[in-house]
């Protein structure tokens, strides 16, 4: 645990070489989200926090993307990390974009995985309707998870069950509050001031943040590189962790797709 501004944040650390990688999970996930990826990053120091209100971390008062980004800045400073590369998935990618825009001196590179500048969910988007229907206590076997954690065949069912269990521990009201914050977020201005080296990894079959979202990110972040994991959906780090790890390990090299 580390205390950031009076808030206890949980994190998992795996020792290894510098610079460290800070891996920031998506909405309702925890550090568990990176447990399939971590073995492919063997030898690197990994820091995998639970965002506030997720996993073992306290919820605190606010739950905006800016709040999450401030926590990540505080984590880097508290652990005295020497300009880590930050990897953010989905909501974590939004958080990492704000972190890079507001605190470029703290990080050496940015990897944005299946994320967006502006979610732009319509009033009857499947995510909006699905979250609105959740009731406490949320069951880890709720059919909503079949859609929410959907991915290509081959991802271990025990891993997906663990993610559903973690997500179900979050009260339904908090799901809705965080989602509403994310829904009205627009990071276009923040992305345009990002100057750290950036690579964007996009799932070619991502039904949540498709090609238009990915190209918007690439256009907004000067000098960024867009890499397609063509056969993956919204969770390439679960579906093809070896490919994602290879890009993360050499995030600013030659173009690559699969």
2-249: CATH topology is: Rossmann fold (3.40.50)
pLDDT in tens, 239-249: 999 999 999 99
First CA to last CA across the chain, in angstroms? 37
Between CA 41 and CA 48 the distance in angstroms is: 13
Could you give phi then psi for residue 17, rounded to 5 degrees? -75, 160
What does the domain layout of the chain look like in residue ranges? 2-249
Angle at 132 between CA 127 and CA 137, to 5 degrees: 110
Contact 46, 14 (CB under 8 A): yes
Q: Both tokens of residue 129?
A: 């309707």
pLDDT > 50? residue 120: yes
Average pLDDT over residues 185-214: 97
Angle between helices 91-102 and 65-78 (to 10 degrees): 60
Digit-coded pLDDT (tens) for 156-172: 999 999 999 999 999 99
DSSP collapsed to 3 states, 154-208: CCCHHHHHHHHHHHHCCCHHHHHHHHHHHHCCCCHHHHHCCCCCEEEEEECCCCC
pLDDT digits (tens, 9 = 90+) for 30-85: 999 999 999 999 999 999 999 999 999 999 889 999 999 999 999 999 999 999 99
pLDDT score at 124: 85
pLDDT at 252: 55
């Amino acid at each position: 645990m580390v205390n950031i501004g009076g808030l206890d944040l949980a994190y998992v650390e795996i020792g290894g070489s510098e610079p460290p990688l800070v891996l920031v999970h998506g909405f309702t996930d925890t550090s568990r989200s990176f447990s399939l990826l971590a073995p492919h990053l063997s030898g690197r120091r990994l820091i995998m926090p639970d965002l506030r209100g997720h996993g073992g971390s306290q919820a605190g008062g606010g739950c905006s993307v800016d709040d999450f980004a401030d926590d990540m800045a505080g984590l880097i400073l508290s652990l005295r990390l020497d300009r880590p590369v930050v990897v953010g998935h989905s909501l974590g990618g939004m958080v990492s974009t704000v972190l890079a825009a507001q605190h470029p001196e703290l990080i050496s590179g940015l990897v944005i995985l299946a994320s967006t500048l502006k979610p732009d969910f319509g009033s009857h988007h499947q995510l909006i309707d699905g979250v609105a229907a959740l009731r406490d206590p949320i069951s880890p076997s709720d059919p909503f998870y079949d859609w929410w954690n959907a991915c290509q065949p081959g991802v271990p069912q025990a891993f997906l069950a663990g993610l559903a269990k973690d997500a179900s521990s979050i009260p339904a009201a908090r799901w809705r509050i965080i989602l509403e914050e994310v829904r009205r977020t627009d990071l276009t201005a923040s992305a345009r001031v990002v100057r750290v080296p950036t690579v964007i990894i996009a799932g070619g079959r991502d039904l949540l943040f498709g090609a238009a979202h990915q190209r918007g990110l690439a256009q907004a972040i000067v000098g960024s590189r867009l890499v397609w994991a063509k056969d993956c959906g919204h969770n390439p780090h679960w579906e093809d962790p070896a490919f994602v790890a290879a890009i993360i390990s050499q995030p600013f090299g030659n173009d690559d797709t699969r």
